[in-house]
Structure 1
């Protein structure tokens, strides 16, 4: 391992980022992970080693799934909207733990926490909804917010409502949409998915989902938010709210803080690997 003498802060950031991303990329290409969502020896990017200007000029959109008012607006959220070659319902109510903690509250809390970290690194962060007591927005509008922001990355935040015996988190990357209009983002979204999966698993200790997908990844063409995106975008399903162990973590504010760090670390590593922005986002 080379020895660096008196590196500047920027050099230190670059070294950490390159090593991080290289480790993620190699593991993703060869094995996907160590089987537990954790890189064997590569640490996630820590807020203490990422410069305050590391993400300057980048716009990141965080899309907290569902909304607190959806349950009171069945007609509004069930109306069909364009979803990339077909129509799909505007939005859904979302899942909840057996104890009644709702997915919409979890996703909004996590988005706010992650936004603080990413802004501390110089990014402009946009949330697709400003609170947790509204309705929607619909899946097509969520995609449009990311597109209109010229986002460098978009993460749609969720928690699954899977079988009670199933544990773990997974990342959803886009497949080619039925209308074949999202082809340009497939490669970059796949890179975002792999990097986010490694960072989130490492920081949280959360295992990869054992009840769907492969190595904590699924590729789907039935999600309007991915089909309609024109910028790199993935879904992060942070755990299974129906599983007792996952639910205990999801309701724990300390775990949500780690989850926010893992999300921010994954997005940071992806953006630093992608290089400087071509233009200042509008």
Structure 2
């Protein structure tokens, strides 16, 4: 488990790099009557925490507002930031169709760690390293909204450009990273990535493999290449494999988010001579998805 908080009865010594934090969390859920009501609710909640005052926050709110009007698409958004008082914050919002498909269901949670002078653990006080503050908040937020391992992987793929992301181990780029799939299995994954990305964790892309640098336009793959010391070789090798691909194939590569081991999976099928369809997801290892 990622959590490093010490319980109140824990008598272990605290190392110099451990710090004490006050932990607060706010959760809410709403089923608005109209799309405009849903948009107003999300913007209002973001304004409570002054999210829009940050450039990244403005983009976050813009993406949320757009998602409300994508009738068939579910959406998960997470924003990590440090507020004006120096507290670590993480805002998680989940938007998905309600059971009757005519309304949206919105679940939201805001988690925060503030520095504290209390040197013991408790319900509202935790002791963790500062470098683990944001990963700890993310896990607690995912736990509060009961996200599945696939949904957590979907969320993590949104943070793949973060400094805490790196290749899980030295990667040897060969066909040992690739696995041929049956047509039916591959088509089912592509279908899930198009219409059920939130529950399946897969994200859909359609690209022209004849275009120069086509993989660099896919956020997850580009971010992975940046986390690896020899990222250009990774992009070149995978690009060549996809250009010569004939059979549906799944490529898998190790990945870490902080101390959390994951796998980056890329499923590719040939659509036309030049165009391929891709489904990508980040999946937690079996130990951390339990």
Q: TM-score range by the shorter chain?
A: under 0.3
Question: Which structure shows the higher strand fraction?
Answer: 2
TM-score (ref. length: structure 1): 0.26
What's the TM-score, normalizing by structure 2? 0.26
Select the structure of larger CA radius of gyration.
2
